[in-house]
Amino acid sequence: MLRASQQDFENAMNQATLTMEDPGSKVKLKLYTLYKLCKPEIWHCLKKGPCTMHKPGVFDFDNKAKQDARKETAMDLKSSLSSSETSSQGKGGADKKAQESKDILVTSEDGITTITFNRPSKKNAISFQMYKDIMLALKNASTDNSVITVFTGVGDYYSSGNDLRNFINDAGEIQDKVTMCAVLLREFVNTFIDFPKPLVAVVNGPAVGIAVTLLGLFDAVYASDRATFHTPFIHLGQNPEACSSYTFPKMMGSAKAAEMLLFGKKLTAREAWAQGLVTEVFPESTFETEVWTRLKTYAKLSPNGMRVFKELIRNHERQKLYTVNAEECAVGQERLKSEEWKDALRNFLSRKAKL
């Protein structure tokens, strides 16, 4: 496995070198990630010659998970480089086509691309596959004919955040793939940081976890008065993500941000508006009508002008956001190895089993 990973890394580097155009920051990030994942074992092999390190046994979960992470990262990198090379030869490839997904709905009408959480039976909890579907939807929306892009949810919830079942397998055991989780989350958040068009959240109901922290990267957040905003990281042994450790204090001040991120205080829509997290709150009875009427008006504004103006705004802090995202993901990776997190996940699964 180590030799295969070493070869994957070398092949990826060669392919990146041969690619005529810059493969982009995401591919470069994956190259760096693969390099880091392969250390120190592969670096040792490259310097000292043939690798003599033993293949992990079937019950050596930690090292086996690390090797699985190397293999999956290499495969993902290979796919990304292939897509980059294809796009350099001409646009309109299969990667531009919207991916069908039952849990994420993507529609485009009246100059608005709408990305909808469509998992109401699970309170629109976000699975790993949904992360990938959302990234693809944003990639397509960045180059389609729409003027603005909107997120909303089906049913009573906007989104209850991460589906904790992401971290268990069919046998009910905790997956030890925390490195891949961190890589996926980092790429996911960077997709929001880099999105070039106005990004609007239409929060139709309660929002939890990453569904809340991501809002700091949106350009406008419209909420129903029945919406709530909750970041219960302390109760789950996790840490804030989606750059919220930077965006929340910037928006609402350090004390109010600490109430949410450190102490897990749940905010009403009005409280979230007063603290700068929400742009405007609407009565539930008129929420859909008022918000969508306004958004259709915005969609008639100059698309090029809004792209340019958003770039002016975002460009001042883009590098800062990249740095914060990387730091949060690194901390999150360690937190997912902690006993606090494992205990919280066991308690969650125990509660669900009793329902």
Q: Write out pLDDT tens, residues 234-262.
A: 988 889 999 999 999 999 999 999 999 99
Q: Are residues 114 and 85 both part of a single domain?
A: no
- What's the pLDDT at 85? 39
- Note the pLDDT tens digit of each residue in 184-220: 999 999 999 999 999 999 999 999 999 999 999 999 9
Which residue did the predictor score with more confidence, 48 or 138?
138
Residues 108 and 76 in one domain: no
Which amino acid does the sequence have at 171? A
- Does 205 share its domain with 334? yes
**Can you tell me whether residue 333 is helix, strand or coil?**
helix
Burial class of residue 300, CB neighbours in 10 A (0-12, 13-18, 19+): exposed
Q: Please give the Cα distance from 269 to 140 (Å, whole number).
A: 31
Residues 70 and 180 in one domain: no
| C-beta separation of 197 from 146 below 8 A | yes
201 with 332, same domain?
yes
Domain count, the chain: 2
Last residue of a domain, one of 68, 89, 110: 89
User: Which DSSP state fits 168?
Assistant: B
Q: pLDDT tens for residues 35-64?
A: 444 444 443 443 344 444 444 443 444 454
Three-class secondary structure of residue 104 per DSSP: strand
Residue numbers of the domain that contains 136: 98-354
DSSP 200-250: EEEE-S-EETHHHHGGGGSSEEEEETT-EEE--HHHHT----TTHHHHHHH
**Do 327 and 207 lie in a common domain?**
yes
Say yes or no: 108 and 172 in one domain.
yes
> 155-168, pLDDT tens digit by residue?
999 999 999 877 76
Query: How confident is the model over 292-340, as pLDDT tens digits?
Result: 999 999 999 999 999 999 999 999 999 999 999 999 999 998 888 888 8
Q: CA 243 to CA 226: how far, in whole Å?
A: 26
pLDDT value, residue 83:
41
Please check whether residue 139 is in contact with residue 84, taking contact to mean a CB–CB distance below 8 angstroms.
no
Instruction: Output the pLDDT for position 69.
Output: 47
Are 76 and 151 part of one and the same domain? no
CA distance 124 to 144: 26
Q: Which of 89, 123, 154 is the last residue of a domain?
A: 89
Of the ranges 93-102, 261-270, 344-353, which is most confident?
Answer: 261-270
In a shared domain, residues 306 and 196: yes
Cα distances (angstroms) measured from residue 259 to each of 55, 156, 158, 233, 343: 47, 25, 22, 12, 23
pLDDT tens figures, 268-293: 999 999 999 999 999 999 999 999 99
Provide the pLDDT confidence category of residue 342 given band limits of 50, 70 and 90: confident
Same domain, yes or no: 52 and 162: no
First and final C-alpha spacing in the chain: 42
Domain CATH number, residue 257: 3.90.226.10
20 and 81 in a single domain? The answer is yes
Mean pLDDT of the chain: 79
pLDDT, tens digit (0-9, with 9 covering 90-100), for 58-72 = 344 445 444 544 554
Same domain, 152 and 292: yes
What confidence tens digit (pLDDT) does each residue in 62-121 have? Answer: 454 445 445 544 444 444 444 443 333 333 333 334 456 899 999 999 999 999 999 999
> What's this model's pTM, rounded to 2 decimal places?
0.71
Is 33 within 8 Å of 76 (Cβ atoms)? no
DSSP class per residue in 115-148: EEE--GGGTTPBPHHHHHHHHHHHHHHTTSS-SE
